[in-house]
């Protein structure tokens, strides 16, 4: 009975924290990186993802952190893998609720060996990258984020694109 209650609490926390939101993603393509058993990139964007990396101490957002799992076809869970994580941030403009433009605003890349690792969970091993776009002005903008795992042989496994809203500038 206690396990059921604990599982129900974890499930409700996941739903309430945004895990049912389209901002977390699964790559549905099922394509494997050649020479790797990574076939899916799963990203979670928690509600407290926005970060200020400014050493001067202002609280304006200069990036975000997220949770990343590279799913192995062997274990069907998150795995640590050699390669690179690429993040592309696009600004999105809409007119009357319809996307009118999508422009690449920033790219970030980091070898997986340099990413902070998360403690293993039931989802497996994962990473917690932080993307710092420094002085780029994305305040109050709609953005789309695409995360890609690039295997050592150059093959790419993308995540599903996440649509996010950057909070406004703090005065």
Q: Which has more pLDDT, 147 or 32?
A: 147
23-165 — its CATH code?
Answer: 2.60.40.2550
Dist CA 62 CA 136 (whole Å): 7
List the chain domain ranges.
Answer: 23-165
Segment 131-153, tens digit of pLDDT: 999 889 999 999 999 999 999 99
* Closest C-alpha among 64, 31, 36 to residue 158: 31
| Residue 32 in this model has a pLDDT that exceeds 90 | no
pTM of the model: 0.77
Helix (H, G, I), strand (E, B) or coil at 40: strand
User: Two tokens at 48?
Assistant: 């407290």
Dist CA 110 CA 102 (whole Å): 24
Predicted pLDDT of residue 36: 79
Segment 41-69, tens digit of pLDDT: 999 999 999 998 877 777 888 999 999 99
**Is 46 within 8 Å of 66 (Cβ atoms)?**
yes
User: Two tokens at 42?
Assistant: 């799963």
């Amino acid at each position: 009975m206690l396990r059921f209650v604990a599982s129900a609490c974890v499930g409700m926390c996941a739903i309430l924290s945004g895990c049912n939101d389209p901002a977390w993603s699964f790559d549905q393509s099922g394509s494997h990186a050649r020479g790797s058993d990574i076939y899916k990139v799963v990203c979670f964007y928690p509600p407290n993802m926005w970060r200020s990396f400014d050493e001067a101490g202002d609280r304006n957002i200069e990036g975000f952190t997220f949770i990343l799992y590279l799913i192995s076809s062997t274990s069907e869970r998150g795995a640590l893998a050699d390669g690179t994580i690429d993040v592309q941030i696009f600004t999105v403009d809409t007119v009357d609720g319809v996307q009118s433009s999508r422009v690449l605003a920033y790219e970030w890349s980091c070898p997986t060996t340099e990413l902070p690792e998360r403690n293993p969970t039931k989802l497996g091993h994962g990473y917690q990258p932080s993307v710092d776009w420094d002085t780029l002005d994305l305040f109050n903008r709609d953005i789309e984020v695409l995360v890609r795992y690039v295997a050592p042989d150059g093959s790419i496994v993308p995540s599903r694109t996440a649509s996010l809203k950057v909070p406004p500038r703090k005065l």
